[in-house]
Structure 1
Amino acid sequence: MSEELRRGGVPGGAETAGTPPGTEPQPAATPRAVGIVWGLLVLNTLGSAGAKTLVPLPRSLIQMVTMGALAGAFALALVLNLRLRVRAGALVFLLTLLLVPSVLSSLHLESGFGALFRCVRLALFVGTLWLLTRWWDGGLTFVRHHVRTYFAVLGSVAAGAVVSPGTAMPELYGGRLVGALWPLTPPQIGQYAAVISGLTVLLVLGRRTDKAGAAVVLVPSLVLLALTHTRTATLGLLIGLTPAIGSLVLTSAAARRFFAWAALVAAVAAVGFASALRAWFLRGQSQEHLTSLTGRAKVWDALLAAPRTTSEKVFGVGLGDKSFGGLPIDNSWLAVYHEQGWSGVALVAAVFLVLGGVALLRPPSLPRACAIFLISYCAIASYTEAGLGDASPYLLHLAVAASLLAAPATATPLPASAVPRRQLPRRTQERR
């Protein structure tokens, strides 16, 4: 959407030269209810398994809430887009194709009837994204929805930590921060904190928010990230911001200053706080335990060594709970291979290749930088976290990136009946 249209002015050019005021094309505004739809999608992806909460919540109740949120998101999106105006995009198209191996493998019921239920959930999730593509215009609307919604989630985490510190930092998780009001694990909290911190930094550098408002989001988010001791989220934040800010260096003095200060702070921290940073990073674990990725490598080796039929290699065993042998897989690529086979892996890889390629071809801009950060973060986290093959926060991150990389929406001409008579050309008034 051009800057002139956002301001409500008349865009330049021969096609609009001399257009009477009030008759110029108007862009379709994004309804506020779209933010509610996005919040319901986030609620659906929070999950139902995690730490013990201050008030015990039955898993069946949590699942009812999360699935109700998805159904509500789809219904509300449908109401907002009754004419089914959608914009074709690589992400939603590839996710739609991902439904094919998911359904074909789940029909064998190797993962039980729950696999078919997860297919329905994924279909509703992708269908809701299709309905929302109408408002994907390359702007920052969905970035703001993303930050606000996850900041609200982190607010519940902070409230739980204040009300019951013992429940929020249990010994079962090694004293790491968990959700005391909603069953959230440390990696989940770390992911949410890292993503909205990175986006907020970019919004500040792009002068789309003031420093005081950014501090309200950044300070508590970084504190919660530190309390989770989540290495993946921390590395994802730091590494993801590097190419994102780097893409702004040539066009933004603020980005250049930030890069310089960040390099200085990193050098001082590496020299003066090396032992403290190492202790935080190890989390009391041995070097051997860290080398094996806290036991993940054993599950990965067992999964790859397990015998599979040709059908299972191509289409997987069906959507499950992202575990193998009762243990979490904690790797998006292996989880997709296990549940959706090589076809699923190819489609997920295509998502990154297409989004990454489009981001590299775009001229430097704040939306492009935000998209690069989200794509980079998801790529980094995919090594130790699962979720790219099913409805998850990672797919929502990539959906925001896709909305940022979408071409500006074309303006919708106003109908003649909506224009006051005095603003119509003389000949039109005579005919009427």
Structure 2
Amino acid sequence: MAVESTGVAYRTASRPEPGARPRVPRLAGVAWALLILNTLGSAGAKTIVPLPRSLIQLATMGSLVTAFALALLLNPRLRVRPSAYLFLLSLLLAVSVISSAHLESGLGALFRCARFALFVATLWLLSRWWDGDLTFVRYHIRMFGAVLASVAAGLVISPGAAMPDLYGGRLVGALWPLTPPQVGQYAAVIAGLTVLLLLGRRTDRWSAVVVIVPSMVLLLLTHTRTATVGMLVGLAVAIGSLLLTSARARRLFAWTVPCAGVAAVALGPVLQAWFLRGQSEENFSSLTGRAKVWDALLAAPRTTTEQVFGVGLGDKSFGGLPIDNSWLAVYNEQGFAGITLVAAFLVVLVLVAVLRPPSLARACAIFLITYCVTASYTEAGLGDASPYLLHLAVAAALLALPAAPEPEVT
């Protein structure tokens, strides 16, 4: 089997041609899967077989350390691609360390900074293989698909545990502790990406159906409005970016718009009931109580230092309640400096996507960026190691220019 000078086996048995672009090693996909495992978290619904939280945390942190070790093994010469996204993410890490050094959020803040540092370092090491192709999209779909398969298995094994009354009968992870918003996010993202791959003829219809149909069923069972709206808006913008160059995109758009209108009229009461989830209008208008937490957070007195740098990395809560807003969570933990950097890397990704010529890779990147921006209003995750930052990392990989050919190693 052919190997590079590092001794790492590649996907093909033939030796790469001199001056060819670097192939993505299989272990890079393993490292990416481990990064996703790390972001699943350790808090959520009760599982069928009780799992100690310490054991789950050991597994998630162990996966991050292993991912970093694998990335370092694959890239011992520390070759990285220039990336404005990762550069700004590194600056956000520096701000996180500054804000956490005061220990207002306890020693746990420094532990979270160490985790964030390993997370960013692993992304830098893997950036060597970011060259605008769809490799990391496929890694993303496979790993999140495996997570959703565990959710489906839990639903089959124990429907009661998978749809507990504690969450209003919404679908959760019964084998691994996952909340309805998490399950909804994963389902929406891989369903949207698979639709785009099908549209771009990068997957066959049967493979697409195997991913899209179960994902949509699981998404509907979670009753997650944020994920549903994010997916629909993301797909609309992504497909719209292909209208001028793709006849299939134009046909899909021409069929989808009238069908969506008819469905909205015919199924209006059903859709309204699904979105309300049995809540009162007051509870719905306050975004399930989120607005009260947001108002309390903004009204809390802060020193100048806390306004600029925040109080340090925490568990994305305020007063014991989840913040559920990326911008306010970043403001609370990393201050205005953090908000500026998060806004900066989102703006950079949007500008680069606008400047790239129409393509399937750009459409996938636009979908992921749009989804993350849409979800940021009612979900936290843009300021710390999370699936949202991995979604944006995939977008950055898709928007990267093709890597320059590597010289032959003699």
TM-score past 0.5 threshold? yes
Counterpart AA for 2:140: H
Matched with 1:121 is 115
Alpha-carbon contact 2:171-2:218 (below 8 Å) kept = yes
**Aligned match of 1:39:** 33
CA-CA distance at 1:26 after TM superposition: 1.5
Partner of 1:51 in structure 2? 45
2:408 to 399, 402, 414: 414
- Residue matched to 1:191: 185
Q: Distance in 1 between matches of 2:400 and 2:289?
A: 40
**Alignment correspondent of 1:402:** 396
1:325 matched to 2:319? The reply is yes
SS at 1:199's partner residue? helix
Match of 1:170 among 155, 164, 172: 164
2: distance between equivalents of 1:289 and 1:79?
A: 51
Alignment-derived partner of residue 174 in structure 2: 180
Does residue 85 of the first structure (1) align with residue 89 of the second (2)? no
| Equivalent residue, structure 1, for 2:9 | none
Superposition pairs of residues 421-432 of structure 1, within 5 angstroms: none
Q: Deviations over 1:204-249 (max 9, x none)?
A: 0100000110000000000000000000000000011111000111
| SS at structure 2 position matched to 1:52 | coil
Amino acid at match of 2:124: W
Matched, 1:75 2:69: yes
Q: Distance in 1 between matches of 2:96 and 2:77?
A: 29
Equivalent in the alignment of 2:7 = none
**TM-score for both structures, normalised by structure 1:** 0.91
- Taking the aligned partners of 2:94 and 2:137, their CA distance within structure 1 comes to 30
Deviation at 1:260, TM superposition (A): 1.4
Once the two structures are superposed, residues 321-356 of structure 1 have per-residue CA deviations (whole angstroms, 9 ceiling, x without a partner) of: 000000000000000000000000000000110000
CA-CA distance at 1:413 after TM superposition: 2.6
- Number of the residue aligned with 1:138: 132
TM-superposed CA distance for 1:23, in Å, is 6.9
Whether 1:369 and 2:338 are equivalent positions in the alignment is no
- Of 370, 380, 389, 1:386 maps to 380
Find the aligned partners of 1:84 and 1:392 in 2 and give their Cα distance.
Answer: 24
Partner letter of residue 181 of structure 2?
Answer: P
Q: 1:104 aligns with which of 98, 101, 106?
A: 98
Partner of 2:296: 302
- Name the SS of the counterpart of 2:403 in structure 1: coil
User: Aligned-pair distance for 1:414?
Assistant: 2.2
Paired residue for 1:268?
262
- Kindly report the root-mean-square deviation, in angstroms, between the aligned alpha carbons of the 2 structures: 1.1
Q: Where does 1:212-227 land on structure 2 (aligned, <5 Å)?
A: 212-227=206-221
Distance 2:269 2:358 in 1: 38
> Could you tell me how far 1:166 is from its partner in structure 2?
0.2
Amino acid at match of 1:29: R
Among 272, 278, 285, which residue is 1:278 paired with?
Answer: 272
Q: Does residue 230 in structure 1 map to residue 200 in structure 2?
A: no
Give per-residue Cα distances to partners, 1:115-164, cap 9 Å, x unaligned.
Answer: 00000000000000000000000000000000000000000000000000
Counterpart among 310, 315, 327 of residue 316 in structure 1? 310
CA distance in 2, matches of 1:24, 1:326: 58
Residues 281 and 83 of structure 1: is their aligned pair in 2 closer, same or farther, counting only changes over 3 Å?
same
| Counterpart Cα distance in 2 of 1:107 and 1:225 | 40
Amino acid of the structure 1 residue aligned with 2:83: G
1:288 CA displacement:
1.1
Alpha-carbon distance in structure 1 between the residues aligned to 2:255 and 2:43: 40
Q: Classify 1:23/1:214 alpha carbon distance in 2 versus 1 (closer, same or farther; 3 Å).
A: closer
Q: Which has the larger radius of gyration?
A: 1
Distance in 2 (CA, whole Å) between partners of 1:361 and 1:352 is 14
1:24 Cα offset (Å): 4.9
- Aligned-partner Cα distance in 2 for 1:39–1:413: 30
Aligned counterparts of 2:184 and 2:259: Cα–Cα separation in 1: 22
CA shift, 1:264, in A, is 2.1
Shift of 1:80: 0.4
State whether residues 184 and 218 of structure 2, in contact with CA within 8 Å, keep that contact through their aligned partners in structure 1: yes
Structure 1 runs (4+) greater than 3 angstroms displaced: none
Residue in structure 2 matched with residue 206 of structure 1 by the alignment: 200
Q: Show the counterpart of 1:5.
A: none
- 2:158 & 2:18 partners in 1: Cα distance? 57
Bigger drift between 404-413 and 114-123 goes to: 404-413
Amino acid at match of 1:163: I
Contact 2:100–2:312, Cα closer than 8 Å, also in 1: yes
Q: Give me the whole-angstrom Cα distance separating, in 1, the residues matched to 2:51 and 2:265.
A: 46
